[in-house]
């Protein structure tokens, strides 16, 4: 059996159309120039490609192109949004108390950022606990709001569970508060329609390699009306309207734009097909018995399936599935393997958290791939349970 890729939440392959666009921006006979070189035709053409990509990403999000700030990916976007907002407010009033609301199951790019602000910049943080289904509810945000809350940062789709947060409801309750809303949408793009106007968000992070674009490039949506102000975290040239300096990578941005165009055209069709494959996989796994679904049964995106297998060692299970690329939320350190903090947060025991696997499907997954994965997982789990 050839190796199967069921780890689309970690990264996606570039779509062939995207790879073609990228290639045409690399060599001397292509569109290779610096978009900031405005004194010659080569630079103008590169700038045109970058601005076309900006329009394509904006169209995917229902935004104005002027609201798209290029970054190196969602991690930088999250840092720019959270640190940038806090630093801007500190510049206005250095002594004002600041409070951030986030959740205990955010990506580390958010959790580590707010922890840094908490430790070194006197920002207080409330980390909302998920329910047993991995959901964060708007009522929790309402209860946690304080007079000095400046930012709420919550992901649209959880990267381990695939559970979805009701972002529009949270945005609605913030209407009467000064706090702004940042959304990490890295796992949402390509898996569901994302509309920043309908969601009414202020800041939103995007990563190209999560939706069949290139690695190393992303964007931050920054609302213009009413205008959201953030302080730059990278300086040196004042690019991106002063919010993010650095020479723009024409090939990556053009590729991201093409990936965004494809998402805009295909997202609903893709998700209907992928959701059916995900259900096929889950139904087959249930035949093994003592297999537990992690996360809400329906309030989750079509791509994700996170399950725990009772009666098996998680490390051995993952190592034994060499022919099926899946992932575990467990984190390694020098002495031990810690269970997934997300699975622990929803109440899973250490054993079930260790034995949790995230299987994520994508645009190039077939029904035959699912059947082959089921056969291999069934073989491995059955063997391990006999030992």
Catalytic residues: 332
- Which residue in 245, 345, 251 sits closest to 295, CA to CA? 345
Asked if residues 326 and 7 have their Cβ atoms less than 8 Å apart, the reply is yes
- Which residue in 297, 294, 304 sits closest to 353, CA to CA? 294
Residue for token pair 């610096």? 34
Distance, in Å, from the CA atom of 4 to the CA atom of 7, rounded to the nearest integer, reads 9
Q: Give the residues across from 267 on adjacent strands.
A: none
Tokens encoding 349: 């025991």
Instruction: Find all residues with CB under 8 Å of 83, minimum gap 6, and list them.
Output: 113, 116, 117, 231, 233
Residue for token pair 């269970």? 339
Say whether the peptide bond before residue 226 is cis (omega within 30 degrees of 0): yes
- The three-point CA angle 106-107-112 to 5° equals 95
Instruction: Find all residues with CB under 8 Å of 359, minimum gap 6, and list them.
Output: 6, 7, 281, 304, 305, 306, 307, 326, 373
């Amino acid at each position: 059996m050839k190796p199967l890729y069921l780890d689309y939440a970690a990264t996606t392959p570039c779509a062939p159309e995207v790879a073609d666009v990228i290639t045409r921006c690399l060599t001397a006979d292509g569109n290779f120039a610096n978009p900031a070189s405005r004194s010659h035709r080569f630079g103008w053409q590169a700038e045109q490609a970058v601005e076309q990509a900006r329009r394509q990403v904006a169209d995917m999000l229902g935004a104005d192109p002027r609201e798209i700030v290029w970054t190196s990916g969602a991690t930088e976007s999250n840092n720019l949004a959270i640190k940038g907002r806090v630093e801007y407010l500190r510049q206005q009033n250095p002594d004002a108390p600041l409070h951030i609301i986030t959740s205990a199951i955010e990506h580390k790019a958010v959790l580590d950022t707010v922890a840094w602000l908490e430790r070194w910049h006197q920002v207080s943080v409330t980390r909302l606990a998920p329910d047993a289904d991995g959901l964060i509810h708007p009522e929790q945000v309402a209860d946690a709001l304080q007079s000095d809350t400046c930012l709420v940062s919550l992901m649209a789709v959880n990267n381990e569970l695939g559970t979805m947060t009701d972002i529009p409801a949270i945005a609605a309750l913030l209407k009467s508060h000064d706090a702004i809303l940042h959304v990490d949408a890295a796992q949402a793009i390509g898996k569901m329609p994302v509309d920043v106007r309908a969601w009414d968000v202020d800041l939103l992070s995007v990563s190209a390699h999560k939706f069949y674009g290139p690695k190393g490039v992303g964007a931050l949506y920054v609302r213009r009306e009413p205008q959201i102000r953030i302080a730059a975290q990278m300086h040196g040239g004042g690019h991106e309207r002063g919010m993010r300096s650095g020479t723009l990578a024409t090939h990556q941005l053009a590729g991201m734009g093409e990936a965004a165009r494809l998402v805009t055209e295909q997202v609903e069709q893709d998700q209907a097909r992928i959701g059916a494959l995900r259900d096929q996989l889950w139904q087959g796994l249930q035949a093994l018995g003592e297999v537990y679904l992690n996360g809400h049964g329906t309030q989750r995106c079509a791509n994700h399936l996170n399950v725990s297998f009772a009666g098996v060692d998680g490390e051995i299970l993952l190592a034994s599935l060499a022919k099926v690329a899946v992932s575990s939320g467990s984190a390694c350190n020098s002495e031990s393997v810690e269970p997934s903090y997300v699975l622990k947060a929803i109440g899973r025991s250490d054993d079930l958290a260790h034995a949790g696997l995230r299987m994520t499907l994508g645009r190039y997954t077939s029904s035959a791939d699912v059947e082959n994965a089921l056969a291999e997982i069934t073989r491995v789990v059955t063997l391990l349970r006999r030992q």
